[in-house]
Structure 1
Amino acid sequence: MTAAEAATLDALRSRLADRAEAEGVLDVAWRTVDSPVGPLLLAATEAGLVRVAFDVEGHEAVLDRLAVAVSPRVLRAPARLDRVAAELDEYFAGRRRTFDVTLDRRLSTGFQRTVLTHLREIPYGETASYGAVALAAGSPRAVRAVGTACATNPLPLVVPCHRVVRSDGTAGRYRGGEAAKALLIALEAHS
């Protein structure tokens, strides 16, 4: 594909996204952004940010799951996600400690939603153990369930599951990979 053909295709996609938004038929808008932890997929409904996905999750697979779980009307429409992209840039530059974007929490239910609500209470630059999060969520014996809730967090980074560590202080696993979790913890510790 030539540069001119690529530019024409991008212009057509942009017009399609603008028209779908104007006609109210854009249920899930998505875009990708580069970050220190690799390319991130961002997806939003009219209600708010619904998904942040790491490259290791397979962006196409994530979009397919969104089409099933939310709506088949999924379209690359970056403008809806400009604010999220800007806040992520600020976060990675060390200029943002919390995110101020509206969240669509429909992909989280039950105990998982309770856990994810408590994760935003862990201060920037600090960590909490899975046990401490279980206690805060009202189920002190549900340590493994907290781990599962963090592992399936549809909004990593924005809902900071990377701040949850094992009781011995080691990082533990992470949806974006152990290297990504270590980088995020180090980034926050040095800001």
Structure 2
Amino acid sequence: MRIVPRLLPALFAAVLPFAAFAVGSDDTQPPAPTETTTKCDKGLIWDEKTKACVAPQESRLDDDTRFGAVRELAYAGRYDEAMTVLSAMTEGDSDRVLTYRGFILRKSGHVEDGIAAYEAALAKNPGNILTHSYYGQLLVEMNELDAARAHLAAIRNHGGTGTWAELALARAIDTGLTYTF
């Protein structure tokens, strides 16, 4: 197939956003449904090791497994269950936990509590670019675009240029559309 040179910019603009969001950490793509949301009863999550639905407090589970379930449940709009799983994580109030607590609170309508969680995460780790992105997206939803731009600048200042965190927030500022994962 031969691409006409004058069409390259259009092709590049159409493909680049999807390619950029497909690269990087597990936060770049919506979580794929697993047995946690397709098979397990409410309040249980899938344990790949035992091939069974278990309570999120199950001691054999690691926090990465729990965190994957948190993302999946939050993406499915099951915020109460996601918060329960998040509360079972053993790493305490790490910036990762606080960031996702803020996200869940924000998406479930508890905006002020979400802001407090984001600010606590940034107090622990001012360089957490994912926190800056989610917090900035909340500010976009609140039509606080200058404050959102400050978070975008913080992402860039902390080495996040070209990451999902930067691109998602820049897109939100430009379009008003935010992410649900």
User: More helix per residue: 1 or 2?
Assistant: 2
Same-fold status (TM-score > 0.5) = no
Higher RCO (CA-CA < 8 Å; seq separation 6+): 1
TM bracket, shorter-chain basis:
0.3 to 0.5
